[in-house]
Structure 1
């Protein structure tokens, strides 16, 4: 027996205690992944010895292996806290421009509206079309930023969507004084509703819509004014099942054809701000060269049944300017921003990165890893797709350290250290005995 075996055992046990101590120290670190020391035996490799005759010369630390099993998820209520439930890492851009990867989703907003980590790294994602909520075609990942410094621009109304029921029991609005008993005229305001629309500067203008039954079965006229001299905007027609059949109009900014009216004469209002380029919500074909001062009234959800007049939905596509008031993150990583004008829209989408060999990632501190030759290159995807995990907003992933197990491991490592020290002590006593032989 020599000192080499005991000394190597002391070094290995000390390394094991270092790893255990590091795990225990980070038992409350968000997104931390524990490690374990793995050892291998060393043997004498001198030539000429049979396989069974080689002497063991101690132990060495073969690797410190990271354990990427899932940590617990704790709800925090903070809208910018995000936990990954499953596979994947957040991608961040370090202050020096390099990329790193983390499981720590405790994000913040800086004064410029950038989403950052506690270490000041920019959180990466892809831009999203705020109208459609879909990732922009050909979009490249980049730092996510929210418009916190200035209000978002106003958007002119291009579409009004109405969902309402006209009472099939209604009589001709003109009435019939010669009938017995006489049928009085129905005031135009009986079947009316109103909605505010916006011009390109965000100025609101009320638009009134009044439906008046004609003397023809299943036919109603539409007016925008209670003035008896007002001109009808158009006529809507229903079939015997209460479904609208006309007028059949083509949305001037899309390929959609259906029941509706183009209300150019209603909303021109001598206001040039109602003219302007059309965005993707109003023009799926992206025909941005088309401009007009009108608004398309979508009547496809209007019905005529034998129940009371009721408006179930009346929306329009415009809005005034607004400041950021709140943020939430969906399970698929979309960052939904709420504005003071009542608008909620997607401003970006977090992406996740995965690696063929996660244990090959190199830890660099600050809850970050960087890719290496052992890990392979990063594969980027949308949370919840493929083998990527889903996100949990308002939550953080806890450290995956099992504190009880680490304390037991520490006692075992301590015993191993003491035992190896004892072998050195025994070898010292043997040598002392030999030296003292006379």
Structure 2
């Protein structure tokens, strides 16, 4: 009976949807996290009678035909690109991106990575890095005798020294954007890498070419909407239950058929 297999695909789809929702809820407090959404499409159709074919009995054309769907399949898990709210931290190396774009970092393999997590740190040598120790590109080194750091909206990093009223420019952050940012590959730790689907990185300075600006002393919160996720979770749970009822109904029909004498 087709209903058994069709309902099984429906249960698998709703299970995957619950897994995506659970990941969103687990990352409610992850800096710069964008919620994901599971998307599905219908599977192949069995054509018992194609629309437009001629009815052999009287020669009329079938207006709709008989097409039996065979279930549902996962199509994509899409990143919902939206700006999270900015929370003040007061940290001199905490920077939030207000608008489009990503900070570029250098991974241990030498490959470029991209992140919106602006919770930056400094190493013992003064190099500005991410929380996982990956250096921000271009590399900026803070001198050990610097008393304070200032980062303006355009990404320019200044250091103030004792006895010197003028700030010294240490470097400038650059940012990158993509023609299809949803095509980036997430590798964990709030890091994305370029793919053929995303297109090459389009680099510029903050505030230029459609890129956002930086705000020192703030971090971008997760964009997860807890109320929406809970609503979607209830809907997915009910969908799972309904598909399980279809399996139970199909099983009862098969049992009735097997008892016919």
Partner residue, 1:18: 19
Partner residue, 1:241: none
- For residue 2 of structure 1, report the CA deviation from its aligned partner: 2.0
Question: 2:143 aligned with 1:102, yes or no?
Answer: no
Distance 1:62 1:428 in 2: 29
Distance 1:417 1:348 in 2: 54
More helix by share: 2
- For residue 52 of structure 1, report the CA deviation from its aligned partner: 3.3
Select the residue among 360, 382, 389 that pairs with 2:212: 389
Could you list the runs of 5+ residues in structure 2 that have no partner in the other structure?
Answer: 52-63
Partner residue, 1:145: 141
Partner residue, 1:70: 83
- For residue 435 of structure 1, report the CA deviation from its aligned partner: 1.0
- What is the TM-score of this pair, normalised by structure 2? 0.91
Distance 1:359 1:115 in 2: 27
Q: For the aligned residues, what is the CA RMSD?
A: 1.4
Partner residue, 2:5: 4
Alignment partner of 1:144: what SS?
coil
Equivalent residues in 2 for 1:355-370, closer than 5 Å = 355-370=178-193
- For residue 79 of structure 1, report the CA deviation from its aligned partner: 0.8
Alignment partner of 2:172: what SS?
strand
Q: 1:52 to 1:79 in 2, by over 3 A?
A: farther
Partner residue, 2:158: 336
Q: 1:47 to 1:146 in 2, by over 3 A?
A: farther
Q: 1:49 to 1:331 in 2, by over 3 A?
A: same
Distance 2:108 2:125 in 1: 15
- What is the TM-score of this pair, normalised by structure 1? 0.55
The answer to whether the Cα contact below 8 Å between 1:82 and 1:392 also exists between their aligned partners in 2 is yes
CA deviations on 1:260-294 (whole Å, 9 max, x unpaired) are xxxxxxxxxxxxxxxxxxxxxxxxxxxxxxxxxxx
- For residue 45 of structure 1, report the CA deviation from its aligned partner: 4.6
Partner residue, 1:165: none
- For residue 359 of structure 1, report the CA deviation from its aligned partner: 0.6
Larger Rg: 1
Equivalent residues in 2 for 1:374-413, closer than 5 Å = 374-413=197-236
The answer to whether the Cα contact below 8 Å between 2:47 and 2:66 also exists between their aligned partners in 1 is no
The answer to whether the Cα contact below 8 Å between 1:94 and 1:120 also exists between their aligned partners in 2 is no
